[in-house]
Amino acid sequence: MSVEAPNSDADLLDLIRIAGPLSVTELADAMEVTATAVRQRLTRLMAQSMIQREAIRAGRGRPKHRYSLTDKGLRQTGSNFTDLALTLWREIRSSGDENLSRDVLRRISRALAAGYATQIQGSTPAERLKSLSELLNQRRIPTSVGSTDEHSTLTAHACPYPNLAEEDGSICQMEKMMFSELIGNELELTQCRLNGGGDCRFQTGS
């Protein structure tokens, strides 16, 4: 199988998803870099729980290691999730049942929050909002946090669900519910890209 040399962590994850499990030598050959460079990248991705290592023993001597994706790594790869989400949401909306749509949004926001909850650190809403921003940035969703004496604000510089949100602004409300659940404080969506704002801004209550 011919695979283009990866230029980023995302490309490396895709390479392992397509052709893995792979050894350091195989990865170095595919990426056209040194084994040392591969090991550095693998160490970083293993620290993020994206990749796991398995020792393969063949006779005497030191075992060889092969690298595969964890469940978390698998969730980072693939390209059909947007199409799937759009199709599923369109089918839900086509039922014409607004109560069903709202209930689904609540359930989704709680399920997403439960999946992220253990990764959010801090004891105050401001600390947890900063931790949430760091998590989103790791997931390639650019965000920043600002604060005043009364409020903290999470600004999303790009929508994580652009195609879906453009079809139905209630997706933004789902995101607000999820963020509120994660930081333990009711957030207000004070600015939305869909309403002409440059960014989406979520502000803590007083």
Q: Considering the domain boundaries, does residue 3 fall inside one?
A: no
CATH number at residue 27: 1.10.10.10
Question: Do 157 and 199 contact (CB within 8 A), yes or no?
Answer: yes
Residue 82 has phi, psi (to 5 degrees) of -65, -45
Give 98's contacts (C-beta < 8 A, 6+ positions apart).
none
Burial class (CB in 10 A: 0-12, 13-18, 19+), 143: buried
Residue 204 identity? T
Q: Which helix (H) or strand (E) holds 16?
A: helix 9-19
In terms of residue numbers, what domain contains 184?
98-204
List the beta bridge partners of residue 40: none
Helix, strand or coil for residue 187? strand
Same domain, 102 and 197: yes
pLDDT digits (tens, 9 = 90+) for 27-55: 888 888 888 988 888 999 999 888 999 88
Same domain, 105 and 52: no
CATH number at residue 121: 3.90.1520.10
Sheet holding 152-156, edge to edge: 143-147, 152-156, 200-204, 187-191
Q: Considering the domain boundaries, does residue 83 fall inside one?
A: no
In order along its 206 residues, the chain shows pLDDT tens digits of 333 334 577 778 888 888 878 999 998 888 888 889 888 889 999 998 889 998 887 767 677 889 998 888 877 776 556 677 778 888 887 888 888 888 888 898 899 899 889 999 999 988 999 999 998 888 878 899 998 878 899 999 887 776 677 777 788 888 899 999 999 989 999 988 877 777 889 998 76
Return the axis-axis angle of helices 35-47 and 24-31, rounded to nearest 10°.
Answer: 110
- Whether pTM > 0.85 for this model: the answer is no
- Domain count across the chain: 2
Tell which residue, 23, 38, 103, has the closest CA to residue 68.
23
Question: Do 40 and 27 contact (CB within 8 A), yes or no?
Answer: no
Q: Considering the domain boundaries, does residue 37 fall inside one?
A: yes
Q: Considering the domain boundaries, does residue 120 fall inside one?
A: yes
Alpha-carbon distance 203 to 144, whole Å? 12
